[in-house]
Chains A and B, each alone.
Chain A
Amino acid sequence: MASMTHSAFTPKPQDPALEQIIKLAVMAVGGQGGGVLTNWIEDCARANGYAVQATSVAGVAQRTGATIYYMEMAPIGDRAPVFALLPAAGDVDILVAAEMMEAGRAIMRGFVTPDRTTLIASSHRALAVSEKTVPGDGIADSEEVIAAAEVAARRFIAFDMEKIAVDAGSMISASLFGALAGSGALPFDRASFEAAIKGSGRGVEASLRAFSAGFEAAARGTVETPKSGRAKPSAPGAPSGPKALIEQWATLEARASALPAPVRDMALTGLRAVVDFQDLDYGREYLDRVETVLASDDPARNQELTLEAAKYIAKAMAYDDVFRVADLKTRGSRFARVRGEIAPAKGAQMKLTEFMHPRAEEIVGMMPARLGRRLSASARAMRLIDRLFNKGRRLRTDRLLPFAQLYVLGGLRRFRRGTLRHALEMEHLEGWLAQALAYRRIDYALGVETLRNRRLVKGYSDTHARGLSKFDRVMDGVALLAGRDDAAHWCKLLREAALADEKGNQLEGALKTVRSFAGQAETALAN
C-alpha cells in the first residue's frame, strides 16, 4: 500500500449512481436519418422520466461521410446529472451502427467492449467510394467485422435493417429504432417507443411498420450475417426454344455432363453462356476447346486447369459486341427484369432510354473481316466513319422504331462469325489459350494462373483497350518469370496489382520488381 503522505481523503469506489447512466452512440453514414433516430430516442427517454443529453456533429459529415450521434440518459433526480458530450472508449452501453463497416469503425475506436456494450448493427453495406472505384473487387469483408463483433460486444444483434425499412417504405432510422426497442437494452416499453414516432408526426405509418419489423427481428436476438463467398456453379436450368433445338441441346448437355466432376458444373454454366450468346455450334466449339485443355490436364491436380479454362474460355467466347448488347437490351426477359427493378405503380407507364455510343471501332467490328481490316488500316476511313457514327445515341426502347433498330441489330448476330470483331476475339483467345497450355507443360500452376489472367479483359471501348493493355503487360511480365519456381505466385500478384487501380500504377510497380530480379536472371542466362 502506498503511503498516504499528502492525501486529505481516502479514495472511494465509483458512485453507484453512475451505473444508472445509459450511454448510447449511433454511428451512421450522413443521410441515413441519424438525427431523426436521436430525436426519437430522446423523446422516448424523456417520456419515461429520464434526464437526457444528446449531441451531434452537423458539419460536413452529413454529406455522405461517417458521422456519430451520442447521448446519455439517467433517471431524473432532484439534481441534474453531469453528462459527457462524446463517447469514450470502453464506456458505451449501447452502440447502434447503421451499416456494417460503421460497426467495424465503432469496434476499432473501442466503443464496443465485452463488459458492457450491446451492439445493434444493420448487416447491410453502404459501400465507401474507395471500395467502389477499384477496377476489380474492392468490397471490404463484412465477415471480419462480424467476427470482431462477436468478440467485442457483450450482445450482438445484426440483420439487414435497411431492407426491412425499404420494404416498409420507410428509412433505416425507423428499423434501427425498432431494433433498439426490441433488443431490450433500454428500460422502456414498446408503447413508449412507438409514442415517440407518433409524436414526430411525419411518415408515421411507414415508420411504425419498419419499427415493428425491426423490433420483432431484434427481439428474436437475430445475428443474420450477409451472404458471402464465391457463387458455386449450379446445374443449368433448361432452355426455352423450339423442340428440335432443345433436343440438340440435350446432346450437348450430356457431353458436358460427361466431363470429370470438378469441371462439370462450370462447363455446363459456360456452355449455357456461349449457346445463349450464339448457337449450338458455338457450344460445340466451346466443348472442343475445353476438352483439348482436359487432355493435357492432370487429374492429380483436381482438374484445376480445365476448371479455369471452362470458365474463362466461356467468357472469352461470349465477348461483348454490339450484337450482344442489342440482343440483350431487346429481350422480353430483360424488359421484365427492368420492370421488376423499377416497379412502377399500378396504372403508371414506363419510358425506357438506352445510352449507346458506338465508335468507328465498333462499326468496322460488325463488318465482314476483310473489309473491316482494310478500313481499320486506313486512318482516313476511320475518321470518316467516326464522323458519321461516333456520337452518343439515346434510344427509347419503349418506342417502336428505336426498339426495332436494336432488335434488327440483335438479329444480325447470326452473321457474327464472319465479322472482324469475331476474328480479332478468336485470335486473342487462341493466342492466350496456346500460351497457357505452353506454360502448363513446364509449370502447371503457371498455366492455371495464365488462364485466370483473362479476367483483366473486360469493359467497352477505352476501358476494354486498357484491360487488353494490362493483360498484355501482365503476360509480358509472366514471360520473364516462366521457368522459375515462384512464377505462378508472381503471376497472381501481377494480376491483382493490375486490378487494384485504374491507371495501372500498382501494376507498373509490380512489374518493376519482377524485372529487377527476373530480368537479371534472363540477362545472366543470355550471357
Chain B
Amino acid sequence: MAERSFAKEVQKLKLGEGDTFTGEGILALTKALLEAGVGYVGGYQGAPISHLMDVLADAEEILTELGVRYEANASEAAAAAMLAASVHYPIRGAVTFKGPVGINVASDALANLSSSGVTGGALVIIGEDYGEGSSIMQERSHAFAMKSQMWLIDPRPNLPSIVQSVHQGFELSEATNTPVMLMVRIRSCHVTGSFEAKDNKRPPFTVKDALANPRSDYARVVLPPMSYLQEHDKINNRWPAALAYIREHRLNEVFGPSEAPVGIVLQGGMYNGVIRALQRLGLADIHGDTEIPLYVLNVTYPLVPDEFFEFCEGKSAVLVVEEGQPEFIEQAFGSALYKTGRTIALYGKDVLPMAGEYTGQVMLDGIEAFLRKAAPDLLPARLRAPNSDQKPALPDLSKTVPMRPPGFCTGCPERPIFAAIKLTEMERGKHQIAGDIGCHLFASLPPFEIGGSTMGYGLGPASNAAFDGGGDRRSISILGDGGFWHNGLSSSIGNAVYNKSDGVIVIIDNFYSAATGGQDILSSRADNASKATGHPIADAVKGVGVKWVRQLDRTYDVPKMREILNEALTTDHVGPKVIIASSECMLNKQRREKPLAAKAIKEGRRVEKPRFGVDEDICTGDHACIRLSGCPSLSLKKLDDPLRDDPVASIDQSCVGCGNCGEVADAAVLCPSFYRADVVHNPGWAERSFGALTTRIITWLQTRRSSGRLEFART
C-alpha cells in the first residue's frame, strides 16, 4: 500500500456532467483520462507523478468497472512498451512516469513506438522533475520529443487547461498517428483548483475487444525497409498533419492586445509565472488580462512557424520564455526568422538565465530586462527611475542557517545498514562504493558519506563493473529492492554473475518502492488484492546464478550485518557476493501498526511499546552516536549545568524504538548512556505482581544506599 491513500479522493473520479471537480492536478489528470475514454493506463512511480500512480492504484475498481486495464508496470520501459496496444488497435492508452529520467529508461520503446506510429491515441504523461524540489539531474524531456518526433504538450498550469490538454493530446495523437507527450511540472502535479467535469466514457474499443479481434501489419514493424518508410511518413505526413491540427484547433493560445510593440512567446507551463511578473510590473490585471501580447505554446513540439510569424507581425521585438537548456524553441524560432529574412529582435536566454528554474524573481528580472531594452516606455515610472528598489539591510544569515537536505526517516531500517558499513570502513579502510537510486542514496550525505556515484535506477552494481576483476579491497555496491526489480536483476546482478565479479553487492530490501512513496513491488510482503507480491529477492538472485547469498532479516542487527560484510569482503568465493538486508520501511510500518497498537491498548490487550532514551548524566556530549545515526529523533539538548560545555544527546518522543541507537552503541563500543524503555500496556496479573515486588526490592536497595552517603539532586 502506498504512503498516501487516495481512497477518499478517487470518489471524485465518479463525478459527471454538471459537477464541479475540486482537487489536485494529478487527480484531475486521471479524471480527464476517464472522460476521454482511455482503454488502458499504466506507468512507473517517481516524483512528481508518484501520486498519479497511487491514484490509479486506488481507483482500480472504478477503472475496471469502465473496462479500463490498469498496469503497475515494472519500469518506464515496460510502461512505454505497453503503448504498443495503440499501434494496431483504436484504443486510447496513457502511461505516466517522471521526466527526464523515466524517458531515459523508456526511450527504446518510445523510439520504436514513434517510428511505428499509432492508430489509437497514445499519451505519455511526463512529470518533469526540474527545479526546486527535484531529485534528479537537471535536464529537459524536450529533446526526446525532438529526436523521436513525438509531439510535446506543455499546458498552462491550471486544472481546466490540464484537463483540456488530455483531450487534445489524444485527438492530436490520433489525427497524426503519433504518440504525444503531455508534460506537467512539479508544482502543476500538485496544484489545486477546479474544473467542470464531464461524464466518464467507456472505451469504445477495449483491450478485451482487441484480444478477441487480433490484428497485425508488418508495415508497422520497425525493420527495414519499413523503418525507412516510417521516417519519411513522419516527415511527409505526420508532421504536416500535426501543424495543421494544432493551427486549426488553436492548441496554442494568444492573449493580450492585437497590436503592440513587443510580445512574449512562452511555454504553456510558464504562463502563470509570466503573468505574475507582468502583474508586478503593472502590465496585467488579476485575471491575467495583459498589455503585452502573449503567444502561449501549449504545444512546444512541433512548433508552428506560420503562427509565430503572425504573432511577430508589427512587433519590433519578442521574448522567448523557455525554461531549461538547451534553448530549443529559441533556436528554432531564431533560425526560422533568419531564413525568412525577418529583422524582428529575438530575446530569450540573453535576458533570462540559461540554467535553472524560472522562479518569481528570475521571471520578474528577465521580463523587466527585456522591456528595459526593447520597450522601456512600457515600464512603470518607479522602475525606470534609478534606485527604485531599496531593501533594508538584513543580517547575513548564510553562515547561520544550516543546509537541510533530505535524509533517513526516524527509525529507518537502512540507517543501521550504513552504520555497519561505516564501522566496517573504520576497521578495514575506505572502499570503492557505488550507490543507486532510492532512499539509500541519502547515505552519501553526512553523517555516513557512503557511496560516491549514482548512475541510474538499478545500476549501482553495474556501475562498479570496472572493478569486477578485484584488487586490494573489494568494491561494494548498493542496490535497493525498487531498483532491483526495475532493472537491477539483469543489468546489475546478471552482469556481475556473467563477468564473475569479485564485488560485494548489498541489496536493501524495505518491502516497498519506498523513495517514490511506498508502492508495492514483486518482493513486497503485504498482500495486494490485484498484484502478485511475496517473491523473495534471494530466490531471484540465486535463479540468475549467484552462489554466495546472505539474507539478513533484521537490519537493526548491526553486529550481524558487520559480520556478514566482513565475510563478504574476505571470502575466497569466486563471483559476486550478494547480501540482502531486509526490514520494513519504518514510515509504512508505523502507518500500519500505530492504529492497530492504539486499538489493542484501548481494548485492554497487552502491548509493548519501545522507546530509547539517553542518560544525560552519563552522556559526555561527544556526539559519536549521532555520527553513526543522523536520526531525526536523536538530537541535542543544552543542559543547565555550568560544568558542561557541549550539548548532550537527547531522544524526543518521536522515537519509534527501532533499536539502532542501542545496536550502534554496542557495536561501536560508544558509551553506556543509552537505555531502552519498553512500556507494557495492560500487563497481566502475574506480571504486575512480580513487577511490583521487584520494584519494591529495588527501591529498598536504592533508599538504603542513598541514606548512607551524600547525594545531590541533579538538574
Tell me whether A341 and B613 are in contact in the complex, defined as CB-CB below 8 angstroms, given that A89-B361, A231-B639, A328-B618 are known contacts: yes
Tell me whether A53 and B192 are in contact in the complex, defined as CB-CB below 8 angstroms, given that A65-B407, A245-B709 are known contacts: yes
A135 at the interface (CB under 8 A from B): yes
- Residues from chain A with a CB closer than 8 A to the CB of B284 are 15, 82
Q: Mark A396-416, 1 if CB is under 8 A from B, else 0.
A: 011110011001001100000
B394 at the interface (CB under 8 A from A): yes
Q: Mark B279-301, 1 if CB is under 8 A from A, else 0.
A: 11011111110010000000000
Give Cα A280 to B711, complex, Å.
11
B272 at the interface (CB under 8 A from A): yes
Contact of A85 among B48, B187, B379 (CB under 8 A): B187
B450 at the interface (CB under 8 A from A): no
Tell me whether A311 and B643 are in contact in the complex, defined as CB-CB below 8 angstroms, given that A79-B287, A84-B273 are known contacts: yes
A314 at the interface (CB under 8 A from B): yes
- Residues from chain A with a CB closer than 8 A to the CB of B158 are 53, 80, 82
Is the pair A461, B694 in contact by a Cβ cutoff of 8 Å?
no
Contact of B669 among A53, A152, A279, A359 (CB under 8 A): A359
- Complex A-B: 23 CB contacts under 8 Å: A9-B260, A11-B283, A11-B380, A31-B409, A53-B192, A56-B187, A59-B133, A64-B404, A64-B632, A87-B360, A88-B276, A128-B404, A133-B626, A144-B397, A239-B711, A279-B709, A344-B677, A345-B681, A353-B662, A357-B672, A407-B705, A463-B622, A467-B622
B605 at the interface (CB under 8 A from A): no
- Residues from chain B with a CB closer than 8 A to the CB of A129 are 407, 445-447, 626, 630
Is the pair A151, B283 in contact by a Cβ cutoff of 8 Å?
no
- Residues from chain A with a CB closer than 8 A to the CB of B636 are 127, 131-132, 139
- Residues from chain B with a CB closer than 8 A to the CB of A136 are 645-646
Is the pair A357, B665 in contact by a Cβ cutoff of 8 Å?
yes
Question: Which applies to chain B's interface (DSSP): helix, strand, loop or mixed?
Answer: loop
A338 at the interface (CB under 8 A from B): yes
Is the pair A6, B375 in contact by a Cβ cutoff of 8 Å?
yes
- Residues from chain A with a CB closer than 8 A to the CB of B384 are 2
Is the pair B679, A57 in contact by a Cβ cutoff of 8 Å?
no
- Residues from chain B with a CB closer than 8 A to the CB of A458 are 620-622, 646
Is the pair B677, A352 in contact by a Cβ cutoff of 8 Å?
yes
Is the pair B280, A14 in contact by a Cβ cutoff of 8 Å?
yes
Give Cα A101 to B397, complex, Å.
10
- Residues from chain B with a CB closer than 8 A to the CB of A144 are 395, 397, 400
Contact of A60 among B135, B261, B364, B695 (CB under 8 A): B135
A-binding residues in B (CB < 8 A): 22, 47-48, 50-51, 129, 132-135, 157-158, 186-188, 190-193, 257, 259-261, 271-273, 275-276, 279-280, 282-288, 291, 316, 359-361, 363-364, 375-381, 384, 391-395, 397-398, 400-410, 439, 442, 445-447, 515, 559, 608, 611, 613, 615, 617-618, 620-624, 626-627, 630, 632, 634-636, 638-647, 653, 662, 665-672, 674-683, 687-688, 691, 694-695, 697-699, 701-703, 705-714
| Least Cβ–Cβ distance between B318 and chain A, in angstroms | 14
Give Cα A459 to B621, complex, Å.
7
Is the pair A411, B705 in contact by a Cβ cutoff of 8 Å?
yes
- Residues from chain B with a CB closer than 8 A to the CB of A417 are none
Is the pair B285, A85 in contact by a Cβ cutoff of 8 Å?
no
Residue among A237, A403, A463, A499 with most chain B CB within 10 A: A463
- Residues from chain A with a CB closer than 8 A to the CB of B273 are 84-86
Is the pair A231, B710 in contact by a Cβ cutoff of 8 Å?
no
- Residues from chain B with a CB closer than 8 A to the CB of A101 are 400-402, 404
| Least Cβ–Cβ distance between A105 and chain B, in angstroms | 5
Give Cα A121 to B114, complex, Å.
52
Contact of B403 among A53, A128, A141, A397 (CB under 8 A): A128
A21 at the interface (CB under 8 A from B): yes
A236 at the interface (CB under 8 A from B): yes
Is the pair B193, A148 in contact by a Cβ cutoff of 8 Å?
no
A334 at the interface (CB under 8 A from B): yes
| Least Cβ–Cβ distance between B58 and chain A, in angstroms | 16
A392 at the interface (CB under 8 A from B): yes
Is the pair B406, A30 in contact by a Cβ cutoff of 8 Å?
yes
Tell me whether A331 and B280 are in contact in the complex, defined as CB-CB below 8 angstroms, given that A63-B408, A65-B407 are known contacts: no
Is the pair A55, B191 in contact by a Cβ cutoff of 8 Å?
yes
Give Cα A140 to B695, complex, Å.
42
Is the pair B710, A330 in contact by a Cβ cutoff of 8 Å?
no
| Least Cβ–Cβ distance between A401 and chain B, in angstroms | 10
Which of A265-273, A442-450, A508-516 lies on the face that meets chain B?
A265-273
A67 at the interface (CB under 8 A from B): yes
Tell me whether A145 and B397 are in contact in the complex, defined as CB-CB below 8 angstroms, given that A85-B187, A128-B402 are known contacts: yes
A380 at the interface (CB under 8 A from B): no
Is the pair B667, A29 in contact by a Cβ cutoff of 8 Å?
no
Is the pair A52, B192 in contact by a Cβ cutoff of 8 Å?
yes
Is the pair B672, A329 in contact by a Cβ cutoff of 8 Å?
yes
Give Cα A84 to B669, complex, Å.
53
Is the pair B397, A332 in contact by a Cβ cutoff of 8 Å?
no
A378 at the interface (CB under 8 A from B): no
Give Cα A228 to B282, complex, Å.
46
Contact of B286 among A4, A81, A233, A355 (CB under 8 A): A81
- Residues from chain B with a CB closer than 8 A to the CB of A438 are none
Which of A107-115, A287-295, A428-436 lies on the face that meets chain B?
A107-115
Is the pair A64, B671 in contact by a Cβ cutoff of 8 Å?
no
- Residues from chain A with a CB closer than 8 A to the CB of B48 are 57-59
Is the pair A114, B645 in contact by a Cβ cutoff of 8 Å?
no
Residue of B nearest to A410 (CB): B705
Give Cα A237 to B377, complex, Å.
76
Give Cα A411 to B709, complex, Å.
11
- Residues from chain A with a CB closer than 8 A to the CB of B442 are 63
A304 at the interface (CB under 8 A from B): no
Is the pair A59, B129 in contact by a Cβ cutoff of 8 Å?
yes
A297 at the interface (CB under 8 A from B): no
Is the pair B392, A12 in contact by a Cβ cutoff of 8 Å?
no
- Residues from chain B with a CB closer than 8 A to the CB of A104 are 397, 400-401
| Least Cβ–Cβ distance between B78 and chain A, in angstroms | 23
- Residues from chain B with a CB closer than 8 A to the CB of A397 are 675
Tell me whether A65 and B286 are in contact in the complex, defined as CB-CB below 8 angstroms, given that A231-B641, A232-B642, A332-B702 are known contacts: no
How many chain A residues touch B (Cβ–Cβ < 8 Å)? 160
Tell me whether A11 and B379 are in contact in the complex, defined as CB-CB below 8 angstroms, given that A114-B392, A320-B620 are known contacts: yes
Give Cα A280 to B408, complex, Å.
48
Is the pair B407, A269 in contact by a Cβ cutoff of 8 Å?
no
Tell me whether A61 and B406 are in contact in the complex, defined as CB-CB below 8 angstroms, given that A55-B191, A334-B617, A350-B680 are known contacts: yes
Contact of B380 among A3, A13, A269, A333 (CB under 8 A): A13
- Residues from chain A with a CB closer than 8 A to the CB of B672 are 325, 329, 354-357, 460
Contact of B615 among A55, A88, A166, A334 (CB under 8 A): A334
Given contacts A329-B618, A333-B714, 5 further A-B contacts (CB under 8 A): A231-B641, A311-B643, A348-B681, A349-B680, A350-B680
A342 at the interface (CB under 8 A from B): yes
Tell me whether A132 and B630 are in contact in the complex, defined as CB-CB below 8 angstroms, given that A8-B257, A81-B286, A84-B360 are known contacts: yes
Give Cα A136 to B620, complex, Å.
10
Q: Mark A377-398, 1 if CB is under 8 A from B, else 0.
A: 0000000000000001010011
- Residues from chain A with a CB closer than 8 A to the CB of B287 are 79-82
A241 at the interface (CB under 8 A from B): yes
A130 at the interface (CB under 8 A from B): yes
Residue among A81, A91, A133 with most chain B CB within 10 A: A133
Contact of B675 among A62, A130, A353 (CB under 8 A): A353
Tell me whether A82 and B671 are in contact in the complex, defined as CB-CB below 8 angstroms, given that A2-B384, A11-B380, A59-B133 are known contacts: no
Give Cα A337 to B694, complex, Å.
18
Contact of A347 among B364, B646, B682 (CB under 8 A): B682
Is the pair A338, B677 in contact by a Cβ cutoff of 8 Å?
yes
Interface residues of A in 124-179 (CB under 8 A from B): 126-137, 139-141, 144-145, 147-148, 151-152, 166
- Residues from chain A with a CB closer than 8 A to the CB of B393 are 151
Is the pair A65, B405 in contact by a Cβ cutoff of 8 Å?
yes
Give Cα A55 to B25, complex, Å.
9
Contact of A331 among B391, B679, B683, B706 (CB under 8 A): B706
Contact of A237 among B133, B699, B712 (CB under 8 A): B712
